[in-house]
Amino acid sequence: MIRATLPFCIVGVLLASAMAAQCRAQDVESNAAPVFVEKYPNPSDNYPLGPDSERQPGVPAGKTFKFDLTNSKIFPNTERTITVYVPAEYKGDKPACTIISLDGIGFNAPVVLDRLIAQHALPVMVAIGVSPGVVNSANPPENPRFDRSFEFDSRSDRLARFLIDEVIPQVENHRTPDGLPIKLSKNPDDRAIAGGSTGGIAAFTVAWERPDAFHRVFTAIGTFVGMRGGEQYYVMVRKTEPKPLRIFLQDGVHDEWPGGPEMGDWWMSNETMSRALEFAGYDVTHVWGAGTHNGSQAAAIFPEVMRWLWRDWPAPITAQPPGNPVLKQILKPGEAWRLVTRNCEAARTIASDARGRVYFRIGAAQQIAELKTGEDTQTCGRSSANDALAFGADGKLYLAQPQGGVETRINGTAKQGEIQARNLMVHSLQVRGNGNIYATTVARNGDSELWLIPAHGEPKRLDTALKGAAGVAISPDGLWLFVPQSESRFGISYRILNDGSVDAREPFYDFDVPAWADDSGAGEIAMDRDGRAYVATRMGVQVFDRNGRVTAILPLPGGEQIRGICFGGSNFDTLYVSGEGKVYARRMNVVGALSWSPPVQLPPWGAG
């Protein structure tokens, strides 16, 4: 990993010595406490531009043009200016690389790009400067609404969608000042994004949300503080499986915008972010300086930033092995998500039988189909409101009925079997080895409930007023029950008693929730034989330890929300997930636990 080895890294070296603690011991006989003084370098924004940031004779100069963007559907009612730089070497005959710069084209980029493209240190590259949106009041120009913080500081995919779906296509609808068509590469390895301050965190967010579109990031004096949830990135980065990103960070020890110290320590937030990225396993480096909240140092180092970000191009940027110890434990090296099938809306709820074959429900019909793992397309119809299914001991199949109740079929045959609990609208279910069913239901008033449907006897209501109970799982030792709630950020833990009833109810499981959501959006749940829980959520698979904490997050390649999840395969070491018409599979380094299997002894565990 490269760190502070650039020509402008003298400021990074400065901190190592200038921040050393100095102490003055007091007279021992006075019994006074020693005084410790931390010494920082004096604030300085004196970072002169180097030769690669200045016009040089004989270097062909690119041209820029501007246009107004006022018809956004993603940020409606906003007005903004888009600035486009086209290098002299651009010929319009093939797609060019792209760098998007937020808050317009900054860092003296046109001059730098002219110079580095002429040196062949960079590929031919079009720069797009995007200003933040402004919404006029009803009495312009009085008191407009400035959407910069909303657009740039928010942790969502909205800005990324705006850039990908609206800005880039509108740029390509224009022609260069020389009349050439503008063609831009869609390869994420050919795209970079950069910004400073609120634009700095925005640059990271765009790539974080859409690594399928951007692989290279420069964030200068980024606002990873409590403006709109930026301070949560440190934890998300540590938990989430690494994405194929290359990231350069810059900041100064005296960084703090005068209007925002109450939102966090701006300098330390950048350092913490850098440490999180290093821990997680990213291709990341940084330069720290003695500056305040301005762009002088970022502009000074920009040529070397670009050289570092684009080194070895066009070699692809790939995700690095994780640093998170939980990810190391559960993931099999070299194995990634693979698309099993697409256009399969019916495979919203999935379940595996005793041989590890994965099945789903065909619409509202009382039929099931086996997932064809060797194809990427499977015609399977639409989903239904009551599509819950589960397998039990001896191959028994349990199907939620559209009119209420649970049907039990012997050995998974198509022949209709016995129907229990006809008055219950079952949403999800799991079956124990003795045939008892734990089910979440939807009551007439819309509330979610938890029920025990015994193999023999009357159903028993165990809990009421749950907030969108979305799934149910039994721990591998048979002692605990986990019910995620889709309309809350908490999942419920229950102790299973000898008679099958439950007590000791706690909102024990704390989900990570996207900044744009108010709840977990949780779906089904699976467990491995070591007691970890794997829950389908908007963010991908959230992995919980036995103390109810999210320790790892596995996003899908396209960032899709998932609803169904189960372990399958001949060894039950393949994790299957479903949602948005797609099913993905991934071989894991753990083995799934079956709800109806005999209880197993779990590894030792502590209070944490």
Contact 540, 547 (CB under 8 A): no
Cα distance between residue 153 and residue 158, in whole Å = 11
- Quote the CA–CA distance of 419 and 13 in Å, as a whole number: 73
d(CA 531, CA 606): 13
Ranges for all domains in the chain classified under CATH 3.40.50.1820: 51-309
Residue 474 region by backbone torsions, left for phi larger than 0, else alpha for psi between -120 and 50, else beta: beta
Q: How far apart are CA 303 and CA 89, in angstroms?
A: 18
At 259, is the pLDDT very low, low, confident or very high (cuts 50, 70, 90)? confident
State the SS3 of 389-438.
EEECHHHCEEEECCCCCEEEEHHHCCCCCEEECCCCCEEEEEECCCCCEE
Task: Tell me the pLDDT band of 13, cut-offs 50, 70 and 90.
Answer: very low
Q: 325-587: which CATH topology?
A: Neuraminidase (2.120.10)
| Buried b or exposed e, range 407-426, using 16+ CB within 10 angstroms | bbbeeeeeeeeeebbeebbb
Compute the C-alpha angle 119/122/125, nearest 5°.
Answer: 120
Query: What kind of fold does domain 51-309 have according to CATH?
Result: Rossmann fold (3.40.50)
**Residue 171's pLDDT is what?**
98
Work out whether strand 437-442 and strand 426-431 pair parallel, antiparallel, or are unpaired.
antiparallel
Q: What is the mean pLDDT of the chain?
A: 91
Position 436, amino acid: N
pTM assigned to the model? 0.91
- Residue intervals in the chain for CATH 2.120.10.30: 325-587
Render pLDDT for 317-326 as a digit per residue (tens, 0 to 9).
Answer: 999 999 999 9
Residue 69 has pLDDT above 80, yes or no: yes
Q: Please list, in sequence order, all residues whose beta carbon lies within 8 angstroms of the beta carbon of residue 96, skipping any fewer than 6 positions away.
A: 90, 123, 124, 125, 126, 182, 183, 184, 185, 190
Map tokens 């969108």 to a residue: 468
d(CA 475, CA 471): 13
Rg over alpha carbons for the chain, rounded to the nearest Å, is: 28
Q: To which residue do tokens 């019916």 refer?
A: 346
* pLDDT band at residue 379 under the 50/70/90 scheme: low
| Cα angle, residue 336 at apex, residues 343 and 389 outer, rounded to 5° | 50
Q: What share of the chain in percent tops pLDDT 90?
A: 80
Nearest of 575, 571, 477 to residue 526 by alpha carbon: 575
**pLDDT for the residue numbered 24:** 38
Q: Which pLDDT tens digit goes with each residue over 128-149?
A: 999 999 999 999 999 999 999 9
